[in-house]
Amino acid sequence: MKNTEYSAVLTAPHKIELQEFDIPAISPNDGLLKLELTGVCGTDAKFYLGKRRTDIFPMILGHEILGRVNEIGDVARERFKVKKGDRVVVDSMIPCSACPQCINGNYKFCQLGLSYGTRISTNVPPSLWGSYGQYMYLHPNSILYKISEDIPAEAAILANAAISNGIQWVRFIGGAKVGDVVVIQGSGSQGLSAVIAAKESGASEIIVTGLGRDEERLKLAGDFGATVTVNIEKEDAVKLVRELTGGKMADLVVDVTGSPRGVAASVDLVKKQGTLVCAGLSGSTTETPLLMDKIVLNEITLKGVFTSNFEAISAAIKLIETRKYPIERMVTHKFPLKEADKAVRAIAGEIPGLYPIKAVIQPG
């Protein structure tokens, strides 16, 4: 095996460089992943744009991770229950397994706060802490999930990203159930995954909103199970939902827009004593004005959600492996590693004519 590899490094806002790194020697407790595909997340774009504050530069982005176990220590092999060559999805979080949050099962809030692609600088040995690269280091506390060889990479990469988030936010947090009316604000990969989760939960009406430019996304939402799609530039979503429900409004609204305007509208879409789940990030300095009286007087349950957990990722992999949905259709743009900067700028909306539903980076 060669002794070095290349990774795309965020050195400062608006600056990604391809850098060469030594491939680390593996001990009995850790491992090395050869990357197959990496998802480009909206969070990556916010780091790139400087909208999500961090002083962890330089940093290899990439926390939606699919690859093969390239090397594995004897102790790690027993802990992870994997062997060399296994195809795996890697959880973005690296729990300490000792703090109260980890012990209680809330490892995404681990007090050490370690995770791939978001919180560790390349200055911390062995540097390969993100999946915008050819190889990635596997920390002894990593969480790995095997995934079938028969699944297209474009579907597999969405397990620990969109699909698991949809299951977590719609089903586990939102409590969607048979017969519910579910409104999903936003039609990107997170919104489309929420459609699938709502369909799997037995929702009777699944209403998805988007903009005029989202025609392709809204069509795919219909293919995934949405019963109604709404171009909010042409139709009043609140009026439409009121008509569809006889004035009752939605049992559950999931907002993945990251738009203050979208969140404000979501309050009007949810029924009395309904649930509003907010998942979209709008930036660390963006304020969202809400009419709190509506939330109070209607006893609306407002829940913020952050990523997914072991249960949701495991469920996502099982769902993907059924091949019930053509999930890979969400991946509309692929970029080679040397064009990582372009991939992130495309997701950030900085390249005219490029509007991916989901973009991925190939290591080759």
Q: Which residue from 57, 140, 128 is spatially nearest to 94, judged by alpha carbons?
A: 140
The residues pairing with 8 across neighbouring beta strands, listed in sequence order, are: 18
d(CA 113, CA 119): 7
Q: Which of 94, 101, 98 is nearest to 115 (CA)?
A: 94
Structure tokens at 59: 């940093």
Spatial distance between the Cα atoms of 11 and 3, rounded to a whole number of angstroms: 23
Decide: 99 and 112 in contact? Cβ < 8 Å. yes
C-alpha 253/C-alpha 271 separation (Å) is: 9
Contacts of 145 (CB under 8 A, 6+ apart): 88, 89, 90, 91, 159, 160, 313, 314, 317
Residue 187 and residue 332 in contact, taking contact as beta carbons nearer than 8 Å? no
Q: In tens digits, what is the pLDDT along the chain, a chain of 364 residues?
A: 679 999 999 999 999 999 999 999 999 999 999 999 999 999 999 999 998 878 899 999 999 999 999 999 999 999 999 999 999 999 999 999 999 999 999 999 999 989 999 999 999 999 999 999 999 999 999 999 999 999 999 999 999 989 999 999 999 999 999 999 999 999 999 999 999 999 999 999 999 999 999 999 999 999 999 999 999 999 999 999 999 999 999 999 999 998 888 899 999 999 999 999 999 877 777 788 888 999 999 999 999 999 999 999 999 999 999 999 999 999 999 999 999 999 999 999 999 999 999 999 999 7
- Asked if residue 174 lies in contact with residue 282, where contact means CB atoms within 8 angstroms, the answer is no
Model-level pTM greater than 0.85? yes
The full set of domains in the chain, from first to last, is 4-151+323-362 (3.90.180.10), 163-304 (3.40.50.720)
Tokens of 299: 């006893």
What whole-number distance in Å separates Cα of residue 261 and Cα of residue 191?
A: 17
Give the separation between CA 363 and CA 336, rounded to whole angstroms: 6
> What CA–CA distance (Å, rounded) separates 276 from 303?
6
List the alpha helices (DSSP H) in 137-233.
153-156, 164-166, 189-201, 215-224
Collapsing DSSP states into helix, strand and coil, what is residue 360? strand
Contact 257, 185 (CB under 8 A): yes
